[in-house]
Amino acid sequence: MKRIALLFGCSLVLATIGCSERMPLHQVTGTVKFSDGSIPQGEMATITFVPTNVMEGKGASSNIESDGSFKLWTLEQGDGGALAGDYRVTLSVTRGYPKLEHMVAREFTDLRDTPLTATVKAGEENVFDFIVEKPKKRRR
């Protein structure tokens, strides 16, 4: 019984410490454009930063605005940005329901294949301008 009480007490202390210290978020902004300079447009358009080491961070995301700009948030929209660290970046730009049409090349939508990366640094201006490709036309 004493062990259970000790374990519960230690867990409570660790949870309190973890919850009381919020890791600092850093503003992250940028743009997404196609190589021809046009903007990826869709009914849904988001960018997601996924930590390269998921055990050490949290992902951040944003809508991609009609001008191609984005401003990341981690816990709630407008919360200030992303944690410092290395990220892989994916896009989801789609239109059409129920059959979704992807508006960017598939490689930019898959976490394993994306060539997009970013390093968010504390105390620095974190502006990322990504150039992506349109999906290849299917042959019929």
pTM as predicted: 0.80
- Nearest 5°: CA angle at 60, between 81 and 29? 45
In tens digits, what is the pLDDT along the chain, a chain of 140 residues?
Answer: 444 433 434 343 344 334 435 789 999 999 999 999 999 999 999 999 999 998 888 999 999 999 999 999 998 888 889 999 999 999 999 999 888 999 999 999 999 999 999 999 999 999 999 999 999 876 55
Longest Cα–Cα distance in the chain: 72
Quickly tell me which residue has 């896009």 as its tokens: 91
CB count in 10 Å sphere of residue 107: 16
CB count in 10 Å sphere of residue 35: 9
The DSSP code for 2 is H
